[in-house]
Amino acid sequence: MKQMEMPPPFLSTVCITCKRVVQYELVGLDEDGNQGRLLAKCLNEDPFTHARCNFMHWHADFPYRAPTSLCLPSPPSIPIIVDPLVSVVPAANVVQVQPILGPSRISCITLGCKSTRIRRDCGRRSCKAHCLEAGGCQAPAHRGSTTETMRRNHLTPPATLSSTTGLASPSNVVVVMPTPGIPLQIDPTLQATVPPQAPSAAPPSTSIDARANPQFASHMSSVFTEQWATEQRLREEQRERDSARLRNLQKTKHTILLYVWLQDHVQPTVVEFQDGFTWPHFVLDDSVISLAGLAPLPPHHRFNIYRPSLGIWTVVSLGHVVEVNENSRVFVKSTDVQHCKNLTEHSITPTCQFRGRLDVTRERTYTRQRLLQDELANLSPSTSSSRVTPKRKARREDELSPSVRRTRHRLTIQSPDTSEGDTQVRPFSWDGFAHQPLLPPTTSKEREPHTPSTNTHHSESEIESSHHPIHPPCSREPVTVNNSSPPCHFRGDVVQQPPIADSSKTWPTDFYVFEIVKGFEEIERVSRFKGFNIKKAFEAHFSLPYARSTFYEHRARWTSSSPIAKASALAAGATPSGLWKSFMVDNPAPRAATKAARRRVHHAVDQVADSDEGDSGCEESD
């Protein structure tokens, strides 16, 4: 008959439902293999909620089993191996407690280790860590090298039972559990076998390994490391070559030519810059001026710089910044130099062969110039005579009467001496059909008689009125402005526009060159402000109605003229030779030849049409 042993009275726990202390009891039944285990079970009723507790808890540290007999087993015959470094408490202070042994729970045989994860095939009956420290066994997970075992034994400090060698007080009691000792001699079949290491053919590595005697090589072979280093070196050399090539290409594109005239009628000094400035702004500082040949200048010293867009020399000071582009040129001269030798030749941009697919802007410019040349060749006097025979439209016989001659309709203008009440418009006839006159406006102002200017010279841009048989001629009057009108005033960014009035001064023939050039500069500056365009700036500066075609045409005339012509026109000042009409005679517009050829062709066509109409009218009258 099996006799159950009661558990110690201090083994208890607290119910999580009713918060009562519940004692552990031994399980007597062995249905699920739980015989001998400690179980705390609470089946009380909660006095507040009247709910029955169903609390159960197994004790994990004391897997008790009922012993087969009351006799304790004899001590093992194998001597216990005690580490000499471990201090042992005297036997007087040690109380021997006999545990209740059970066959289902096996713990590690190492002193102080409570691990129960013991492999069945482990020959040392220890956990993995302590088995490897002892040298390993035949279990697959417990096989370890001798080096690793030595390292573990060297790095792991020995476990001690107590920090003191002996205590006189009976309160300091250490419970020593009887543990079967490790035999001094181990079966050779249980020892881990270390395979012999074959000698390596590779030369010994100079690198330091973390392990004393590594089992596997921790570095690549030298053939791979040397190849990798060679590839990295070649890549770095290629990168340096590409970087140098890009820097040189950028310097070539950002080349600036500086032309400096120091004396009259002497060739300029040409200096080329590729670095020393931040693109695209070129600063005329002390280093640039001294390299160009000018003497060291004081901080507020002034010199002249040429502006190709306007064709004039402007006065600047030291530290002036110029915005440049690729292969641009900067022209500088001293203030006492009056005649710059070969300025025109140096200011002309050299033409070079280009590729249309790579330079669309120059391709379009070349296409426009080629079309103008072809048109000018077709409109030349030698070829225009054979092309002035216009085609006449066919007309039916019943459309017009034979006695009616085609007449032109003309726009009648009210004479200056006509009063407001006598305002009438004569009816006009076209192709024999009479039309009713238009009704006059309800309110009309008396028109002032126009006083024509004494100057009869007109711009080349003024196209002669065409005498077409169908369209009426357009009467063009010169634009005039009153000299007594107040001039325009600029206050910061605000332009005050004076009223536009009539005058005997005509644009642009009655203006001087320096006035028009100053107007171009002022219009270009003011038109950049928000709210002011070219039209407002033109009317504010010249006090004249804005004419878009004439403004752009005369500005293009000034831009395309040579620097010598610009300088001479500006030097003339307020003299007859300094008038804009004199400048127009010496410097035609860029497309003046083409416009003149077109006017000649239109005039010839009108003459042929008039002669044909006259002949047909005479035949019909006969």
Domain coverage including residue 531: 480-590
Return the pLDDT at 20: 82
Instruction: Decide if 93 contacts 167 (C-beta within 8 A).
Output: yes
Distance CA 375, CA 362 (A): 20
Instruction: Decide if 554 contacts 544 (C-beta within 8 A).
Output: no
Distance CA 52, CA 614 (A): 134
| Residue 58 is assigned to a structural domain of this protein | yes
Distance CA 391, CA 522 (A): 50
327 vs 426, which has greater pLDDT? Answer: 327
Return the pLDDT at 401: 45
Return the pLDDT at 585: 84
Handedness of CA 380, 365, 582, 571 (dihedral sign): negative
How many CB atoms are closer than 10 A to CB 321? 13
Mark which of 71, 97, 122 sits at the end of a domain: 71
Q: Check which CATH number belongs to the domain holding 311 and give it.
A: 3.10.20
Following DSSP, what letter does each residue of 409-450 receive, concatenated? -------TT--STT------EETTEE-PPPPPPSS-PPPPPP
Return the pLDDT at 369: 77
If pLDDT is split at 50, 70 and 90, which confidence band does 601 have?
confident
The percent of residues in the chain predicted with pLDDT above 90, rounded, is: 3
Following DSSP, what letter does each residue of 559-602 receive, concatenated? HHS-HHHHHHHHHH-SSGGGBHHHHHHHS--TTHHHHHHHHHHH
Query: Which residues are 382's β-sheet partners?
Result: none
| Residue 395 is assigned to a structural domain of this protein | no
Helical (H) or strand (E) element with 260: strand 256-261
Distance CA 509, CA 513 (A): 10
Closest C-alpha to 312, from 514, 542, 554, 527? 514
How many CB atoms are closer than 10 A to CB 209? 11
In this structure, of 7-11, 509-513, 594-598, the range with the lowest mean pLDDT score is 7-11
Instruction: Decide if 558 contacts 516 (C-beta within 8 A).
Output: yes
Closest C-alpha to 409, from 390, 432, 393, 391? 432
Instruction: Decide if 379 contacts 600 (C-beta within 8 A).
Output: yes
Residue 236, pLDDT > 90, answer: yes
| Residue 595 is assigned to a structural domain of this protein | no
Mean pLDDT estimate for the chain: 67
The verdict on 572 and 495 lying in the same domain is: yes
Mean pLDDT of 605-617: 71
If pLDDT is split at 50, 70 and 90, which confidence band does 239 have?
very high
Mark which of 347, 376, 400 sits at the end of a domain: 347
| Residue 281 is assigned to a structural domain of this protein | yes
The verdict on 63 and 162 lying in the same domain is: no
Distance CA 366, CA 283 (A): 34
Residue 454, pLDDT > 70, answer: no
Return the pLDDT at 231: 94
pLDDT tens-digit series, residues 529-539: 777 778 888 88
Instruction: Decide if 156 contacts 110 (C-beta within 8 A).
Output: no
| Residue 432 is assigned to a structural domain of this protein | no
Return the pLDDT at 245: 92
| Residue 334 is assigned to a structural domain of this protein | yes
Return the pLDDT at 174: 45
Tokens at 301, concatenated: 């010293």
Mean pLDDT of 26-42: 81
pLDDT tens-digit series, residues 107-123: 888 888 888 888 888 88
| Residue 599 is assigned to a structural domain of this protein | no
Report the range out of 160-164, 264-268, 486-490 with the highest average pLDDT: 264-268
Mean pLDDT of 374-383: 68
In this structure, of 194-203, 322-331, 549-558, the range with the lowest mean pLDDT score is 194-203
The verdict on 118 and 32 lying in the same domain is: no
pLDDT tens-digit series, residues 189-232: 655 555 555 555 555 555 555 555 554 556 667 778 888 999 99
